[in-house]
Amino acid sequence: MKVGYYQFRPLFGKIRHNTNKVVNALQDVKADLIVLPELAFTGYYFQNKNELKSLAEDPAKSSTVEALVKLCRKNYFHLVTGFAEKSRDKIFNSALLIGPDGIEHTYRKLHLFNEEKKYFDAGDIPLQVNTVKEVKVGMLVCFDWVFPEAMRSLTLQGAEVIAHPSNLVLTFCQEAMITRCLENRVFAITTNRFGTDKRPHGELKFTGKSQIVAPGGVLVQRAVSQREALFITEIDPAESHQKNITPMNDLIEDRRPEYYQNLIN
């Protein structure tokens, strides 16, 4: 399976520009699954809910999604992208799994980061694993990384690869994802954006360093911070089936769920 990330700098509010940028960058790429950043088309740092409302879209009526589906069809690959998703009167910080036939799954960020809480609604559908060319792919968005339960839940559902669109402003995630891939023995593709959203109410700088980590916590590749980066590599998802960290320790079978009860109370 050929997987990769496209780290770029979306321009705030310039949906058409950002869509063209992605479509152009991926025009001739051969891959099976490419992960884009969180909120890849709208930009990130909204002033308020009204501004978000004016930029968020119903994926079913979005010309961006239409362009991405067309791209997937042309190149016969799948994309996971962050997307400001309008759904009736709610707006979610979502990740879309898009293939040649359209949107295959929508994940709505369960753990909103900081000011996102002012204008996004918290995710309201269960964590789920989807199949992409026979590979089981789970989605997380950015700040979900800090809650070990999220990636664990996907692992327990059989995820082999975690697609993780991000707009990271802190610096902890990359190292933590190594721990996550060690404890779960799955692949993770964390795609971050770079650049700064300079807005009237303030500015946020994003930290780049998109990365792919293999089971066992092995860093496959990490981008630099402030530069565009398209990276594609071949992985063997079956590596994630090997849950043994020692000859006698399967990290999933060795769990003692009867002693973890207070995690869900």
Q: Look up residue 114 and give its DSSP letter.
A: T
- Which run of H or E residues covers position 21? helix 15-26
72 is catalytic: no
Give the tokens for residue 249: 């320790």
Residues 93-112 that bind a second copy (CB under 8 A): 110-112
CB–CB of 125/97 below 8 Å? no
- Find the shortest distance in angstroms from Cβ 35 to a second copy: 21
173 in active site: no
Q: Give the C-alpha separation, 121 to 12, whole Å.
A: 20
CB 169 within 8 A of CB 203: no
183 part of the interface to a second copy, by CB under 8 A: yes
Distance CA 1, CA 259 (A): 37
Residues present in the chain in total? 265
Q: Is 148 near a second copy (CB under 8 A)?
A: yes
Among 67, 103, 122, 230, binds a second copy (CB under 8 A): 122
88, 134, 200, 246: which one contacts a second copy (CB under 8 A)? 246
**Residue with Cβ nearer a second copy (1 or 163):** 163
Catalytic residue among 116, 136, 142, 181, which? 142
Which of 62, 166 has the CB closer to a second copy?
166
Catalytic hit among 57, 72, 85, 109: 109
* Interface with a second copy, residue 218, by CB under 8 A: no
CA atoms of 170 and 166, how far apart (whole Å): 11
> Angle between the 63-75 and 15-26 helix axes, to the nearest 10 degrees?
0
Query: Looking at beta carbons only, is 15 or 110 nearer to a second copy?
Result: 110
Q: Which of 21, 38, 86, 136 is catalytic?
A: 38
Nearer to a second copy, 126 or 200 (CB): 126
Residue 228 binds to a second copy (criterion: CB under 8 A): no
Q: Using CA atoms, how far apart are residues 260 and 240, in angstroms rounded to an integer?
A: 24
Residue 176 interacting with a second copy (CB under 8 A):
yes
- Cβ contacts of 231 within 8 Å, gap of 6 or more: 4, 5, 7, 210, 212, 221, 223
Q: Is 181 a catalytic residue?
A: no
Asked whether the beta carbons of 142 and 164 are under 8 A apart, the reply is: yes
Q: Which residues bind a second copy (CB under 8 A)?
A: 110-115, 117, 122-123, 126-127, 143, 146-150, 152-153, 156-157, 170, 172, 175-176, 178-180, 182-183, 217, 245-249, 251, 254-265
Catalytic residues: 38, 109, 142
